[in-house]
Amino acid sequence: MSLTVNSNASTAPFVVAFADGDMSMSDLMGGKGANLAEMTRIGLPVPHGFTITTAACRHYLTLGREPDDLDHQVGIHLAQLESTTGRRLGNPADPLLVSVRSGAKRSMPGMMETVLNVGLTDAVIPGLVARGGERFAWDCYRRLVQMYGRTVLGVDGELFEVALVAARREAGVLSDTELDAASLKKLTTDFRRTLVNEVGEDLPQDPREQIRRTIDAVFSSWNVPRAMTYRKHQGIGDDAGTAVNIVEMVYGNTGPDSGSGVCFTRDPASGEPGVYGDYLPNAQGEDVVNGSRTPLPLQDLSDHAPAVYEQLMGHLRTLETHYRDLCDVEFTVEDGTLWILQTRVGKRSPAAAFTVASAMVSEGLIDLDEALRRVDGYQLESLLHPRFMSAEGELLLATGLAASPGAAVGEVVFDAQKAVSQAAEGRNVVLMRTETSADDVGGMLAAVAIVTARGGRTSHAAVVARGIGRTCVAGVDGLVIDLDARTAVCPGGSIKEGDTISVDGTTGKIFRGALAVRQSQVAELLEKQADDGSGAEQPEPVAGSLAAAVLQLLAHADHRRLIGVRANAETSPDALRARRLGAEGIGLCRTEHMLLGERAVLVEHMVLGDESDRAAALADIEELAHTDFLDILRAMDGLPVVVRLLDPPLHEFLPDLTELSVEVALNNAPGGTPDPQAARRLAGVRRWHEGNPMLGLRGVRLLTVVPELIEAQVRALATATLELKTAGMDPHPELMVPLVADPAELSAATARMRGAIESACVADGATLRIPIGVMIELPRAALTADRLALDADFFSFGTNDLTQTTWGMSRDDAEGAFLAEYRESGLLDVDPFMTLDDVGVGRLVRIAVEEGRRARPDLGLGVCGEHAGDPISIRRLVSIGVDYVSCSPPRVPIARLEGGRAVVLAESQATP
């Protein structure tokens, strides 16, 4: 890892007193230091102290030593601290003791080091006894030796724990808090002996040396492995460094009028107003959080010490009003005097994020833009899906990729037909397959959840499941299905067909048995709320409720966003649902999904059949497509519907080569009956068989080889449109050509499409203009965008295939093969199939947008890959400047929210 002392390090101060800082200085003072400074500034009772800045830490980590002047500056601030507190370091009668705490800009709870009671030596024990008694003094001392030994001298912490266990056993007590002064005094001596035995040195008896060495140890703790791992996981850069806060010690364990607590200014789980927290009398802060004693509800403090309680309530109100946010606060009471030790903006659940943001708008603390900045699409997504009440203690069968969120319970079935027949009997089924293909879609629709052994987050199973709103776990490690025996082996045990399992598509976990499910009230209300054109009265959410908060912020996002939001859908129920959720059109209607299940045979006949098979199949395809298009255009009346020409990876529609080979071999074996038709099919499947179908005869290539398919589909769309127009409706179809690599492919397809529209119009005596666009899903298409734009009304970026082809990674296999390992080992932070890879794929999109628009300024620009529903990707796409995103219907509210957020976030970044 490389660290740089930033160029203004020489001008950045190495030490800042709390009295001289404020909350805007978190880069330099860390979050904790900046908040302590801010609270000091607004007059809250914060113990005195100062911060050694991140600039000093960076210097230390880069050069391996403190800045030359640091010791001197720390000396000056310590002297200042002595004068403001009236206590002196090393004064036997009333010593100044300090805490030395880490505190980076972004909170890394428990990852770095803290040492308390620094400055305690043999000489000052009498002063401490006077402050809190004999037991208190020795307890402070043994804690210092323990923390200093571990943190500064690197002694194994286990050695102290073992000694503590022995001391408790000897004293016949269960907890450390029951150890008396004599035991603690002996422990202190034993601990110091441990230091000498382990590292050959004792606790320094010079308070300043203790402080100096502790500062260095806290600096170094920036690079302990757990802190580095945490940073990687949280996406925190390695070169910020930590600040070190030196704060006068105040004690909550000096007697019955003392104590410590932690609290939130509102409920961080629900966002409800009111103060939530815990309090422990006669205890230090760490006793409250480490669970060694059961804390009391904070309200108990009002009986015990009403004046202190009132003071605290006042400070909490001040903090909320000042920070205009939910705050998380630590406090200590020493002999009836209240001290606020720390505050920060509190972490909260997704529900609380929405409720608090909306409530603070009503209270006039923040405006709607700020409220929008404080929530995000990931939080909204988690609020829209059913959840399991609890999975604790349940039997985990297996874990896979969380491919489509939700929580579903059903009986396992191993094939699509069974899924359909069982579902028809009213049973909830989970379709479990090695992987899914077009043949399985009927079963997927019938199932409540889909589980596959293979495949990534953009595999067939994942994409289809998200599109139709089914829970899905894909690429399950260690899942082996035995179709003949109708059983499956999972890492957590075996299951047989008919067994009930619970599938958590949000975590990727699969459990045996039926877990209790909680439905999402927010999702239900969102759908009911939207005007579905039926004229029915819409239910009002309860004021102040979570649902009301979500609706309020979504409405504001709609008001602010510039980007359009469409949905990927191919059936009228999905289209209607998308419309209820706020979609402004269909951005991708995958026509191959209209030819699934029983209809798949038509594609087979088109490809493998003779002349008359082909003609019959083509006529059927055209007729079915006509009906389907009528349905979807009706559902989206008045809004655009982008119909993509057929783009099936051919293997999904043809019989399986291996199965067919076995069938023909058995037919031809002694005792079998040769079947010429099966043999002909096998010859055909062999001819079209591809080693790499995802890069094979797909999209425009298939349309070039079988051009009649273009004409049939386009005619069906044109005649459906004309029919609806005649009926007084307002259809807005658009056409789109998939997997184009070269402008010549597009020109040829476009000419045929225009011809087909023309012929439909001539037959009808009407005129019709249907915009024609091209999908940009191959790097070559992006790089020849200026030429493609000449023949296209719009581009739609198919970022699934564009990611696959840019990275050269199969969207079906990469996750199981190596992507997961890449992410675990830190080679990749995120799955590029989920979150748009800005520097690679994003760059191609940018090039295509710029060059396409230059060639044709009125070029429309959309995105219809999975990234169009991913919050981070949406923000990136907004900054690239596309006109709309098109995502699966359940993610439409997420795209609306993030579309609005992208605008307000960009504005706040632009404002200095």
Active-site annotation, residues: 460, 864
Q: Which is nearer to Mg ion, 777 or 837 (CB)?
A: 777
Please state, in angstroms and rounded to a whole number, the distance separating the CA atoms of residues 260 and 603.
72
Confirm or reject binding of residue 873 to ligand PEP (CB under 6 A).
no
What amino acid is encoded at 800 in this protein?
Answer: N
Please state, in angstroms and rounded to a whole number, the distance separating the CA atoms of residues 578 and 892.
7
- For residue 404 the two structure tokens come to 């489509």
590's contact among ligand PEP, Mg ion, none, with CB below 5 to 8 A by partner kind, is ligand PEP
Confirm or reject binding of residue 801 to Mg ion (CB under 5 A).
yes
Q: In whole angstroms, how close is the CB of 798 to Mg ion at the nearest point?
A: 4
The three-point CA angle 872-874-876 to 5° equals: 75
118 strand-pairing partners: 98
Q: In whole angstroms, how close is the CB of 597 to ligand PEP at the nearest point?
A: 17
DSSP labels, 40-63: HHTT--PPPEEEE-HHHHHHHHHH
793's contact among ligand PEP, Mg ion, none, with CB below 5 to 8 A by partner kind, is none
Please report, as residue ranges, which positions from 609 to 648 form the binding site for ligand PEP (by CB under 6 A): 647
Please state, in angstroms and rounded to a whole number, the distance separating the CA atoms of residues 801 and 738.
10
602's contact among Mg ion, ligand PEP, none, with CB below 5 to 8 A by partner kind, is none
588's contact among Mg ion, ligand PEP, none, with CB below 5 to 8 A by partner kind, is ligand PEP
Burial code of 869-907, b = ≥16 C-beta within 10 A, e = fewer? bbbbbbbbbbebebbbbbbbbbbbbbbbbbbbbbbbbee
870's contact among Mg ion, ligand PEP, none, with CB below 5 to 8 A by partner kind, is none
Q: Which is nearer to ligand PEP, 284 or 459 (CB)?
A: 459
Rounded to the nearest 5°, which phi and psi values hold at 5?
A: -80, 115
> Going by C-beta distance under 8 Å and a sequence separation of 6 or more, which residues neighbour residue 769?
none
- Applying CB under 6 A, among 46, 163, 184, 864 the residue interacting with ligand PEP is 864
Confirm or reject binding of residue 777 to ligand PEP (CB under 6 A).
yes
* Interface mask toward ligand PEP for 45-74; x: CB under 6 A: ------------------------------
- Containing H/E element for 230? helix 225-234
Q: Which is nearer to Mg ion, 38 or 570 (CB)?
A: 570
Residue 518, exposed/middle/buried by CB under 10 A (0-12, 13-18, 19+)? exposed
The stretch near ligand PEP (CB under 6 A) out of 440-448, 514-522, 784-792, 798-806 is 798-806
Q: In whole angstroms, how close is the CB of 871 to Mg ion at the nearest point?
A: 22
Contact 159, 128 (CB under 8 A): no
Q: In whole angstroms, how close is the CB of 802 to ligand PEP at the nearest point?
A: 7
Count of alpha carbons within 13 angstroms of residue 784, beta-carbon side: 18
The 10 Å Cβ neighbour count of residue 310 is 13
Q: In whole angstroms, how close is the CB of 432 to ligand PEP at the nearest point?
A: 23
Confirm or reject binding of residue 591 to ligand PEP (CB under 6 A).
no
The stretch near Mg ion (CB under 5 A) out of 538-546, 555-563, 625-633, 798-806 is 798-806
> Going by C-beta distance under 8 Å and a sequence separation of 6 or more, which residues neighbour residue 136?
128, 129, 251, 253, 254
Strand order in the sheet with 407-413: 396-399, 509-512, 500-504, 407-413, 429-433, 449-452, 471-474, 401-404
- For residue 408 the two structure tokens come to 């579903």
134 strand-pairing partners: none
Q: In whole angstroms, how close is the CB of 695 to ligand PEP at the nearest point?
A: 12
Q: In whole angstroms, how close is the CB of 842 to ligand PEP at the nearest point?
A: 14
Rounded to the nearest 5°, which phi and psi values hold at 66?
A: -65, 155
The stretch near ligand PEP (CB under 6 A) out of 317-325, 764-772, 796-804, 892-900 is 796-804
Residue 393, exposed/middle/buried by CB under 10 A (0-12, 13-18, 19+)? exposed
Q: In whole angstroms, how close is the CB of 623 to ligand PEP at the nearest point?
A: 24
Q: Which is nearer to Mg ion, 584 or 647 (CB)?
A: 647
Q: Which is nearer to Mg ion, 411 or 777 (CB)?
A: 777
Q: In whole angstroms, how close is the CB of 699 to ligand PEP at the nearest point?
A: 8
Confirm or reject binding of residue 779 to ligand PEP (CB under 6 A).
no
Helix (H, G, I), strand (E, B) or coil at 129: helix
Confirm or reject binding of residue 459 to ligand PEP (CB under 6 A).
no
Output Rg (C-alpha) for the chain, integer angstroms.
34
- Applying CB under 6 A, among 44, 98, 384, 463 the residue interacting with ligand PEP is 463
Confirm or reject binding of residue 252 to Mg ion (CB under 5 A).
no
Q: Which is nearer to Mg ion, 504 or 801 (CB)?
A: 801
Please report, as residue ranges, which positions from 641 to 670 form the binding site for ligand PEP (by CB under 6 A): 647
For 249-288, where are the E strands, in sequence order?
A: 259-266, 273-281
- For residue 608 the two structure tokens come to 């493998």
Separation of CA 354 from chain center: 16
The stretch near ligand PEP (CB under 6 A) out of 423-431, 670-678, 797-805, 847-855 is 797-805
Please give the size of the binding site for ligand PEP, defined by CB under 6 A: 11
Please report, as residue ranges, which positions from 758 to 777 form the binding site for Mg ion (by CB under 5 A): 777
633's contact among ligand PEP, Mg ion, none, with CB below 5 to 8 A by partner kind, is none
Confirm or reject binding of residue 590 to ligand PEP (CB under 6 A).
yes
Confirm or reject binding of residue 574 to Mg ion (CB under 5 A).
no
Helix (H, G, I), strand (E, B) or coil at 678: helix
DSSP labels, 758-800: HHHHHHHT------EEEEE-SHHHHHTHHHHGGG-SEEEE-HH
Q: Which is nearer to ligand PEP, 332 or 784 (CB)?
A: 784
What is the rounded end-to-end Cα distance, in angstroms, of the chain? 31
Confirm or reject binding of residue 798 to Mg ion (CB under 5 A).
yes
Confirm or reject binding of residue 798 to ligand PEP (CB under 6 A).
yes
* Interface mask toward Mg ion for 634-653; x: CB under 5 A: --------------------
Q: Which is nearer to Mg ion, 241 or 699 (CB)?
A: 699
Confirm or reject binding of residue 865 to ligand PEP (CB under 6 A).
yes
The three-point CA angle 233-236-239 to 5° equals: 130
Q: In whole angstroms, how close is the CB of 738 to Mg ion at the nearest point?
A: 6
- Applying CB under 6 A, among 39, 408, 588, 882 the residue interacting with ligand PEP is 588
Q: Which is nearer to ligand PEP, 779 or 900 (CB)?
A: 779
Q: Which is nearer to ligand PEP, 38 or 647 (CB)?
A: 647
Q: In whole angstroms, how close is the CB of 456 to ligand PEP at the nearest point?
A: 12
Q: Which is nearer to ligand PEP, 151 or 803 (CB)?
A: 803
What amino acid is encoded at 455 in this protein?
Answer: G
Helix axis angle, 600-608 to 676-688, nearest 10°:
80
Size of the chain in residues:
912
Q: In whole angstroms, how close is the CB of 799 to Mg ion at the nearest point?
A: 9
Between the alpha carbon of residue 480 and those of residues 321, 451, 488, 491, 503, the distances in Å are 57, 12, 6, 9, 17
267's contact among Mg ion, ligand PEP, none, with CB below 5 to 8 A by partner kind, is none
Q: In whole angstroms, how close is the CB of 582 to Mg ion at the nearest point?
A: 25
Please report, as residue ranges, which positions from 777 to 796 form the binding site for Mg ion (by CB under 5 A): 777
Rounded to the nearest 5°, which phi and psi values hold at 494?
A: -100, 155
The stretch near ligand PEP (CB under 6 A) out of 333-341, 359-367, 620-628, 795-803 is 795-803
- Applying CB under 6 A, among 332, 800, 806, 873 the residue interacting with ligand PEP is 800
Residues of the shown chain interacting with ligand PEP in the complex, contacts defined by CB under 6 A: 463, 588, 590, 647, 777, 798-801, 864-865
Residues of the shown chain interacting with Mg ion in the complex, contacts defined by CB under 5 A: 777, 798, 801
